[in-house]
Chains A and B, each alone.
Chain A
Amino acid sequence: MIDSALLNASVSELHQLLTTRQVSSAELTKGYLERIDLLNGKLNAVVTVCAEQAIEDASRADERLTRGEGNILTGIPLLHKDIFCTQGVTTTCGSRMLEHFVPAYDATVVARLKAAGVVMLGKCNMDEFAMGSSNETSFFGAVKNPWDTNCVPGGSSGGSAAALAAGMAPLVTGTDTGGSIRQPASLCGVTGLKPTYGRVSRLGIIAFASSLDQAGPMARSAADCAHMLTAISGLDTGDSTSADRAVPDFFSELTGDISGLRIGMPREYFNDDLDSEVRAQVMSALTELEKAGAQLVDIDLPHSHYAIATYYVLAPAEASANLARYDGVRFGYRCTDPADLEDLYFRSRSEGFGEEVQRRILVGTYALSAGFYDAYFNKAQQVRRVISDDFRSAFQSVDIIAGPSAPGVAFPFGAKQQDPVAMYMEDIYTLAVNLAGLPGLSTPAGLVNGMPVGLQLIGKPFDESTILNAAHRLQLDTDWHRARPAIEDHVA
Chain B
Amino acid sequence: MSISQEDVEKVALLARLSIAQTDLPEVTERFGRVLQLVNELNTIDTEGVAPMSNPHDMVQRLRPDVVTGSDEREALMSCAPAQDQGYFLVPKVID
Contact = CB atoms under 8 A, between A and B. Distances in A.
A365 interface: yes
A330 interface: yes
Nearest to A433: B55
B85 interface: no
A309 B38 contact: yes
Interface string A6-28: 00000000000000000000000
B55 A379 contact: no
B34 A312 contact: yes
Nearest to A87: B75
A420 B34 contact: yes
Nearest to A239: B61
A315 B92 CA distance: 35
Interface in A95-149: 101-105
B56 A243 contact: yes
A304 B36 CA distance: 18
A344 B88 CA distance: 13
A453 interface: no
Contacts of B33: 419-421
Interface residues of A, number: 73
Contacts of B49: 382-383, 385-386
B84 interface: no
What DSSP secondary structure best describes chain A's contact surface?
helix
A306 B40 contact: yes
B34 A359 contact: yes
Given A313-B38, A338-B91, A359-B30, 12 more contacts: A197-B55, A241-B60, A312-B37, A329-B80, A340-B93, A366-B7, A366-B31, A375-B42, A376-B38, A376-B41, A379-B41, A379-B42
Interface of A: 101-105, 197-198, 211, 237, 240-241, 243-244, 303, 305-306, 308-310, 312-313, 320, 324, 327-334, 338-341, 343-347, 349-350, 353, 358-359, 361-363, 365-367, 369, 375-376, 378-386, 388, 419-421, 424, 435-438, 461
A-B interface, 10 closest residue pairs, ranked by CB to CB distance from nearest = A437-B55, A381-B51, A334-B81, A104-B75, A331-B79, A382-B46, A385-B52, A365-B15, A382-B49, A309-B40
15 contacts: A211-B55, A306-B41, A313-B41, A330-B79, A333-B81, A346-B16, A362-B11, A362-B12, A362-B31, A366-B7, A382-B50, A383-B41, A383-B44, A386-B46, A438-B55
